[in-house]
Amino acid sequence: MTGPVPHDRVALLVNGSSRRGADAYGRTLRGLRSAGLAVMRSVLLEDPAQLPAEVAAAVGATCRLLVVGGGDGTVGAVAGLLADLPPEVRPVLGVVPLGTANDFARTLDLQPGVVAALTALATGKVVDVDLGRANGAPFLNVASLGLSVGATHALHPGLKRRLGPIAYPVATLQAYRRHEPFDIRLEFPDGDREPLELTGLLQVAVGNGRHYGGGNTVAPDAGIDDASLDVYAVRAGRIREHLSLARLLRSGNLVHHDHVQHVVTPAVRLTSDRPLPVNLDGEISAASPVEFRVQRNAVEVVVPQHITHLSHEGPPTPAEPATPDRGAEPVEVPGQT
């Protein structure tokens, strides 16, 4: 079951530092009003540190729909703030994808740009989706350690503005040249599997959504409403091995490769042989040791009317088991102890 999109008491919040934020703000505001949405509050945000205060102001004004324009980091931060609210005061989240990757929008089957987002907001429906947590910090798409963190450091704003989505592979290549392998231990606090020791790794990713990194797929069956996290670890190796892995990123079949360990779980605790920063939806926002959990049906969000793979289920009841809807057998990784 899905719900209608609230068109009364709408707030608009656009990150002016996102790739197209400042240019799109006026068009989005005019478009919302032209589509019959009653915008009672609108803000062009110059400093992302203002996000919590602006979301609180929208909630305090009893807004029923909060439209957020920005990239995955902005949308994920707002989603985390909304997920902390009681359901009776929590606005529905509307997304105008204005970033570089826009992977959450891809997961929702939202086309890029203001016009497609306005169409969804005017004619779409409301579903609920899961949220990932890393030591409590929210992420919608994927959390990762290793190569992706180096790529994030290399992915400075100027590179993203000049190259757009192509900036991601360019930054990844730069990070690959400087990468040092690392070892981890994975423990599963819900008792759904035995601990794993993995050595000599290139990257670990923990996916909540379906897409990441500018359109790559977490795993073939990954979904943002399946009450589970897809965890995969890639062993460091020779460059020709990694090139073969890279070809599998778009489809998510990377998880079936011999050099990749893949598990599906509602929660995992990760410790590493040295403290490592953690990338959450493109932002360095946590560090190991880190516990990842899925927060079931945490956020209501607007999607296009044609969507059939997402629905509105409501928050889990206490009687519902906190177990994933699907499973995966571990794949042995050379070097695993």
Structural domains in the chain plus CATH codes:
3-130+297-303 (3.40.50.10330), 137-294 (2.60.200.40)
- Tokens linked to 158: 């100027």
DSSP H helices, the chain, are 21-34, 51-60, 72-83, 103-107, 114-123, 147-154, 157-163, 167-176, 239-246
Give which of 295, 315, 298, 305 is closest to 126, Cα–Cα: 305
Dihedral-angle region of residue 252 (phi above 0 means left; psi in -120 to 50 means alpha; beta otherwise): left
User: Is 81 in contact with 49 (CB distance < 8 Å)?
Assistant: no
3-class SS letters over 13-51: EEECCCCCHHHHHHHHHHHHHHCCCCEEEEEEECCHHHH
pLDDT, residue 320, reads 45
pLDDT, residue 213, reads 80
Is residue 205 classed as helix, strand or coil in its secondary structure? strand
Q: State the Cα–Cα distance between residues 264 and 209, nearest whole angstrom.
A: 13
Residue showing tokens 């670990």: 204
Residue type for position 69: G
| Cis peptide bond upstream of 266, omega within 30 | no
Give which of 266, 293, 305 is closest to 127, Cα–Cα: 305
Residue 321 CB partners (closer than 8 Å, separation 6+): none
Q: In angstroms, how far is CA 5 from the centroid of its own chain?
A: 22
User: Is 335 in contact with 237 (CB distance < 8 Å)?
Assistant: no
pLDDT, residue 22, reads 74
Q: From the first residue on, what is the mean pLDDT of each consecutive set of 10 residues in the chain (337 residues)? A: 84 84 87 96 91 96 96 93 95 93 93 91 96 96 82 58 60 62 96 96 94 87 95 83 74 89 97 94 90 97 94 69 45 37
| Predicted model pTM | 0.84
pLDDT, residue 333, reads 36
What is the secondary structure of 162-199 as a DSSP string? HHGGGHHHHHHHHHHTT---EEEEEE-TTSSS--EEEE
Half-sphere exposure of 332 (CA within 13 A, CB side): 3
Give which of 263, 222, 259, 233 is closest to 244, Cα–Cα: 259
